[in-house]
Amino acid sequence: MMENNSRAQRVADQIQRDLASLIQFEIDDPRIGMVSVTGVEVTQDLAHAKVFVTSLGGGDVARQPSDAAGRESTAALNGAAGYLRGLLARRLQLRAAPKLSFHYDASVERGRQLDELIDSALASDRERHS
């Protein structure tokens, strides 16, 4: 049973690496901009893969807030999921490539916001004690 879990994890890691490359070099959609593949979860039967992405800005979406840009990028990636699956199938050595579904990962944006809150709290604390 443990072998299946490690195999699924190895496949997920390979999908993450391959998709990061494919999105960067094969997809030419200005709605996507710069995205980072932050994680991949595959089902035990390797039929479905949840791909988590975050937007790094860039492209036409740079003028939008990060959350809106990330959601637009995710929608564009879901539109290109079939094409990406076909490209991925050529790279993976599996009988069938998993069906891809892209999900926006807001953890990076939340982390940045928390970092800004901590910085502002430290700055106001320094001002009170000065």
Question: Domain 2-105 carries which CATH code?
Answer: 3.30.300.20
- Output the 3-class SS for the chain: CHHHHHHHHHHHHHHHHHHHHHHHHHCCCCCCCCEEEEEEEECCCCCEEEEEEEECCCHHHHHCCHHHHHHHHHHHHHHCHHHHHHHHHHHCCCCCCCEEEEEECCHHHHHHHHHHHHHHHHHHHHHHHC
* pLDDT of res. 4: 61
In this prediction, residue 12 has a pLDDT band, given cuts at 50, 70 and 90, of very high
How many whole angstroms separate alpha carbon 88 and alpha carbon 103?
Answer: 18
Mean pLDDT of the chain: 86
Query: pLDDT digit string (tens) for 35-91?
Result: 999 999 999 999 999 999 988 754 444 444 567 778 888 999 999 999 999 999 999
Of 10 and 60, the structure prediction assigns the larger pLDDT to: 10
pTM for the complete prediction? 0.77
Tell me how many degrees the CA angle 26-28-33 measures, rounded to the nearest 5: 110
How many whole angstroms separate alpha carbon 78 and alpha carbon 84?
Answer: 9
